[in-house]
Amino acid sequence: MSSDRQELSIGTQLAAIHAYAEAHHMEVIRIYEDAAKSGLQISNREGMKRLLRDVLDEPRPFDVVLVYDVSRWGRFQDIDAAAYYEYTCRLHGAKVIYVQEAFGSDEEPMTALLKTLKRAMAAEYARDLGVKSRAGQDRAVHLGYQMGPLPCIGLTRVAIDRFGNRRPLARGQSKAMQSERIAWVPGPPTEVALTRRIFGMYADTNATIRGVARQLRAQGLVAQNGRPFTESRVHRLLRCEALAGNFVWGSERYTAAPAMKKRPATRANHVIEPVVSADLWKRVQDKLWTRRRLRRDKEQLIQVLRDRLAEHPELNALDLEALGLRSKKAYTNAFGSVSRALELAGRDPVAVRALHERRKLIGRKVGDRMTSDIANLLRQLGMDCRVHPRSRVLVLGETVKIRLQVLWPRTYRGVQRWHVLKSRRPIAHLVLLAQMDNSESAIRFVLLDPKEYRDTAPWLDEELPPYLEPIATGVELAQAVRVRLAGVMLPAIFSGGVETYAEPQVTANR
């Protein structure tokens, strides 16, 4: 049975079967039941599958299968399915008897005709019930009542009785009566503000969904269930039309027959008080659509690269995301590698390789010089500091290591961005990021511990996110190091107070 209706409950069926067995001097030795299971398919009918397996056993544990009525095999849309399962029992020597049907002998033609008619009636009942249920569900959606899963962050539920009285529901709380309806309304102000902030972070910056999720985790923000924001959670949030005031339900529902197509989704616009404005919703969806065009053929992908190469002849794999292009994985899947795709688009690999080597040489010289300058500066401020001979690492007090990472700008349509080349486990106690300009000078520094380094966004804009504090002077750097290393061998690292020293600027200039 798929419901607890009294006339078809498990108890009612068992009472009728036991009464029939007693009247005909039979012993019931085994019971197979599927409580609260749909009869539209056999995949979730564990009791019926056990029955069919036992029928095939040698020796067979029973001689007769007692069934309440024909529809209990299942309301399969293909009526031959129910006939097949009955025939499987009879083929292996188990007689099938329907205790509530007035059938004659199995050999009579009228019995076969009545069984076929009953199976067709059971299938039609299920189909008609599905149509009526869907019509009622569609009507509830257009009235603004909940159908489907609980709302995402930014929305909460209220129960509405038949008189229109509203009662707020806590998360996980069910409605009190069957006659009540559930509606969605904007949630607490803090959740609404966070939802709008997430939409703004994605729409108004160059951040990706992964970058937004990483920034939210770095700031310690969590969803309404207390769990951290993941990439999939942010993606579902940005696509939830309920936040724009629209109900969309049923897009993943199927009809009873698995081979048939999906039912069209039920859509009801402007039935919920929106959480985000229509303009912000449109900007987010436009950006999602731009990044979601996954069915471009190879020629279209190459043409996009040709257009970008005309503006940036030195384009490489790292520039794809900075320029708003498709991901490296898309080009790798289509052409084997990004380098191969760029060659097909007309990039000169020899010239680009030479340019890359020159940049590496310049970057190495600037990084080494900057490391030496910072070490001298920290020594002037009273710290025991030296440069590690084999890496761009500052060693404080022979114990604490600070790794310097130089970030070079990449410009797209007049906007500069800096890529943070991530290392899963940086071999250092702290990581010092240096945001450079095109004249080989540092604009600012950012000091991070390993966890903050892993959680920070892979691309930094000219305006840092609020959870990152910029460092512009030597005193600020020394104070930041002191705070980060509080309690970690401070006497061996600091030989004096930083307040007694001047403020030399921290740059990469000679």
Q: Which residues have a Cβ under 8 Å from the Cβ of 289 and sit 6 or more positions away?
A: none
- What is the average pLDDT across 358-367? 84
Position 28 scores a pLDDT of: 92
Position 425 scores a pLDDT of: 60
> Comparing C-alpha atoms, which of 54, 66, 68 is closest to residue 1?
68
Position 47 scores a pLDDT of: 87
- What is the average pLDDT across 478-483? 84
Q: Is 216 a residue whose pLDDT tops 60?
A: yes
> Comparing C-alpha atoms, which of 385, 415, 389 is closest to residue 204?
415
Pair of tokens at residue 243: 């936040």
What class has domain 6-140?
alpha beta
Q: Is 105 a residue whose pLDDT tops 60?
A: no
What is the percent of the chain with per-residue pLDDT over 70, rounded to a whole number?
A: 83
Which range has the top average pLDDT, 190-199, 286-295, 315-324? 190-199
Position 260 scores a pLDDT of: 47
* Chain position carrying tokens 């007692």: 66
Position 423 scores a pLDDT of: 63
* Chain position carrying tokens 């309301």: 75
Q: In angstroms, rounded to a whole number, what is the distance separating the alpha carbons of residues 171 and 164?
A: 21
Which range has the top average pLDDT, 38-52, 81-95, 107-121, 326-340? 81-95
Count CB atoms within 10 A of the CB of residue 471: 22
Q: Which residues have a Cβ under 8 Å from the Cβ of 158 and sit 6 or more positions away?
A: 166, 167, 168, 169, 182, 183, 184, 185
Position 501 scores a pLDDT of: 31
Worst-scoring range by mean pLDDT, 145-154, 280-289, 448-457, 466-475? 145-154
Q: In angstroms, rounded to a whole number, what is the distance separating the alpha carbons of residues 232 and 210?
A: 9
- Bridge partner residues of 404 (DSSP): 432
Rg (CA), the chain: 35
Q: Are 298 and 335 in contact (CB under 8 A)?
A: yes
Residue 500: pLDDT band (50, 70, 90) is very low
List the domain boundaries for the chain: 6-140, 155-290, 293-347, 360-500
Q: In angstroms, rounded to a whole number, what is the distance separating the alpha carbons of residues 137 and 48?
A: 30
Higher pLDDT, 226 or 412: 226
Q: Mean pLDDT in the chain?
A: 78
Q: What is the CATH number that goes with domain 360-500?
A: 3.40.1350
Q: Is 220 a residue whose pLDDT tops 80?
A: yes
Task: Give domain 155-290's CATH architecture.
Answer: Alpha-Beta Complex (3.90)
Position 195 scores a pLDDT of: 92
Provide φ and ψ at 449, rounded to 5°. Answer: -85, 170
Higher pLDDT, 253 or 66: 66
Position 495 scores a pLDDT of: 43
Alpha helix positions (H), 184-246: 189-203, 209-218, 231-238
Which range has the top average pLDDT, 2-16, 212-226, 260-274? 212-226
Residue 468: pLDDT band (50, 70, 90) is confident
Q: Are 348 and 439 in contact (CB under 8 A)?
A: no
Tell me the residue length of the chain: 510
CB crowding 421-443: b at 16 or more within 10 Å, else e: eeeeebebbbbbbbbbeeebebb
Q: Is 413 a residue whose pLDDT tops 60?
A: no
Q: What is the pTM of this model?
A: 0.48
Please indicate whether the domains covering 155-290 and 360-500 agree at the CATH topology level: no
Position 279 scores a pLDDT of: 92
Q: Are 159 and 175 in contact (CB under 8 A)?
A: yes
Pair of tokens at residue 147: 């159908």
For the segment 245-297, what is each residue's pLDDT rounded down to a tens digit? 888 876 544 444 444 455 677 788 888 889 999 999 999 988 887 766 544 56
